[in-house]
Amino acid sequence: MPLITTIEDLRVLAKRRVPRMFYEYADAGSWTESTYRANEADFQRILLRQRVAVDIGVRSTRTQMLGQDVAMPVAIAPTGLTGMQHADGEILAARAAKAFGVPFTLSTVSICSIEDVAEATDGHPFWFQLYVMRDRAFVERLIARAHAANCTALVLTLDLTISGQRHKDLRNGLSAPPRLTLPNLLNMASKPRWCAGMLGTQRRSFGNIVGHVEGIETMSSLADWTAKQYDPTLNWKDVAWIRKLWPGKLILKGIQDVEDAKLAADSGADALIVSNHGGRQLDGAPSSIRALPRIAEAVGHRIEVHMDGGIRSGQDVLKAMALGAKGTYIGRAMLYGLGAMGEAGVTRALQVIQKELDLTMAFCGRTDVRDIDRGVLLDEPPPPAGFPIF
């Protein structure tokens, strides 16, 4: 096994092992990718306050997200086409999350179905992410299936009613399964581990959709259906409708604005996720860590505030907690681990982040992640290249 000490190590290995169209699906943003890059870069500009001569002999990263005990304030984010990064990817990631003690969130546009993940994890609770489609009867069936599968939280994504322009996906002709063009075939031929895994599984399409929508039997019919189904009319009345349908915890994902955060708190949801969809939607939007403090200050006393976008280390987790988040999500960090080494890679990604979180807490003189606040940050402007985040 290669020596893995950082999430970057996993990214480099995943780039070697995953076909280009799927690696770039994960490792890219929309338009100029400025927001995608800012999600990471803005974390680096936040300075930490080192303390010494503090008793740090006993430390804990354990806390709760939505009342659920977690090994650290990190959940696995919903990511589409996870099963194209590695065969049966959603199942492998869910198993790793279960063993580690953090929540796993399954995407609507996953390769493995809700039922696949439930069976593979022996009914262990997980979370399900919902896209609202024009076909509301299908949405109702998805919600019922998630409830039957023992999903304890529904993550409703609000920021993908239309899709951002993702140039790399367009150039690569992204599809699941991949289009067998000559460039794609040649690239896949250079990834023998990935090919062997895909030959060994029957899960190569959208498991939550194929077989659950009448008339969807081929990839062309699936592509036509999904292209027409994202609903640009989604509004807060739909959120209220879903709140009535869903009996468990409800999380609203894609909040960037304080006014929207207030509406989320008014909606009866249990948590919101400060998110710009990993820089894959509105290019030029603020990074998630830049948007977080204002939202946490405005509504953190009314609704649990989480965040995603740009987290590549345990230090990033600590900085998000210091600025008001009660939980964080990793998407790309998980995908890099999965693409690099399958289930073991996801576990390694979680181990790396937890160790970095634990050590950074210690250097900042803190022993319990639940006590993290702005006191761990230096209250001074970042370097001249930017402007203050908080």
Q: Is 166 annotated as a binding residue?
A: yes
Is 309 annotated to bind ligand? yes
Element (H, E) at 74: strand 74-76
**200 is an annotated ligand-binding site residue:** no
- Does 23 belong to an annotated binding site? no
Q: Which CA distances in Å does 285 have to 100, 133, 256, 354? A: 33, 25, 8, 29
Q: Which of 258, 252, 247, 259 is nearest to 234 (CA)?
A: 252
Point out the catalytic residue in the list 212, 277, 301, 306.
277
Q: Is 366 annotated as a binding residue?
A: no
Q: Is 308 labelled as part of a ligand binding site?
A: yes
Q: Is 253 annotated as a binding residue?
A: yes
Closest alpha carbon to 104 in 310, 288, 334, 320: 334
275 is in an annotated binding site: yes
Residue whose C-alpha is closest to residue 308's, from 278, 338, 286: 278
Give CA–CA dist 72/194, Å, rounded.
31
Is 278 annotated as belonging to a binding site? no
The answer to whether 311 is annotated as binding is yes
Q: From CA 334, how far away is CA 337, in angstroms rounded?
A: 5
User: Is 205 marked as a binding-site residue?
Assistant: no
Residue identified by tokens 């292209």 is 227
280 is in an annotated binding site: yes
- DSSP string of 279-310? GTSSTTSPPHHHHHHHHHHHHTTTSEEEEESS
147 catalytic? Reply is: no
Q: How far apart, in whole angstroms, are the C-alpha atoms of residue 359 and residue 338?
A: 24
Provide the 3-class DSSP secondary structure of residue 271: strand
- Which tokens in the block code for residue 144? 């019922």
326 labelled ligand-binding? no
Tell whether 129 is in a known binding site.
Answer: yes
Q: CB–CB of 297/324 below 8 Å?
A: yes
Binding-site positions for glyoxylate read: 25, 131, 166, 277, 280
Binding-site positions read: 25, 78-80, 107, 129, 131, 157, 166, 253, 275, 277, 280, 308-312, 331-332
Binding-site positions for FMN read: 78-80, 107, 129, 157, 253, 275, 308-312, 331-332
Q: What amino acid positions are annotated as catalytic residues? A: 277
